[in-house]
Amino acid sequence: MKKVLILIDNLYGGGAQRVVSRLSNALAGSVDVVIMTFSMENSYPLSDRIRQYCFKEPDLLTGYKGILGTVVYVFRHYTALCRQLIDVKEREHPDTVISFLSKPNLLNALTRTRGCRTVMSERNNPKKKGAKYYLQGLFSYLLADRIVFQSRTVMKMFPWIVRRKGVVVPNPVRADCMAVGGSHRIVTMGRLKPQKNHQLLIKAFALFAESHPQYSLFIYGRGYERESRLSCPD
């Protein structure tokens, strides 16, 4: 049986975590699934067929100063995490390692080995995350076999050498959760922060409501934009 190792920060909240839980449970019936996270606190249910490992954050001495000290600290930190990941790989012998989010993607890249496919997933808009995020992602993706993007817009932000390994896969949707009946409510849920760009949704809904006044928009979530009531500038 084929074996897949999935890397992600945690499974206790967030869209990427929800996708990983659904993907893992769907794969568990046909392949051997192993997950490695930085916390064993899970808010998404996992099949009892899935095994989960937990990274142990290295207990490094404090007192690193200056640029050189920061470099030494980061090097020792990631070296310790890579050793843990390599130990799990040697124990489980996965055929494919799939990573989600920035830090797991970097660890996946740094521990890449022959005979094991390296797949990474980009879950954000790099232009909104800054140069450091983009460069770290670029380094990781150069070492990947395949990269999954959520949109062509984000994929086009990277050079051709990355795009040629990319594929666009939208987030999964549960068909049994689709709205039915005659409701005229449009509902969205998510963190009330600029990254989610609720203002764009409000602008789009304002245009839609001009010809469909019977519809209402409901936004659910927490975050500092709640205080601004998500006002949309002209």
Helices and strands in the chain, H and E counts: 8, 9
Q: Would you say residue 55 has pLDDT above 50?
A: yes
Q: Would you say residue 232 has pLDDT above 90?
A: no
Residue 149 φ then ψ, to 5°:
-110, 155
Query: When comparing pLDDT for 15 and 147, which is higher?
Result: 147
The three-state secondary structure class of 177 is helix
Burial (CB count <10 Å: 0-12, 13-18, 19+), residue 89: middle
Q: Would you say residue 209 has pLDDT above 80?
A: yes
Q: Among candidates 134, 139, 135, which has minimal Cα distance to 118?
A: 139
CATH 3.40.50.2000 positions along the chain are 3-168
Q: Would you say residue 231 has pLDDT above 60?
A: no
Q: Tell me the chain's radius of gyration from C-alpha atoms.
A: 20
Q: Would you say residue 234 has pLDDT above 60?
A: no
What's the full length of the chain, in residues?
234
Q: What CATH number has the domain spanning 3-168?
A: 3.40.50.2000
Under 8 Å between Cβ of 184 and 215: yes
Query: Of 60-69, 76-85, 121-130, 195-204, which gets the smallest average pLDDT?
Result: 60-69
Mean pLDDT of 64-91: 86
Structure token pair of residue 37: 């996270």
- The mean pLDDT of the chain is 88
**71: confidence class by pLDDT, cuts 50, 70, 90:** confident
The predicted pLDDT at position 233 comes to: 47
Task: Flag whether the pTM goes above 0.95.
Answer: no
> What is the DSSP annotation of 134-172?
HHHHHHHHHT-SEEEES-HHHHTTS-HHHHTTEEE-PPP
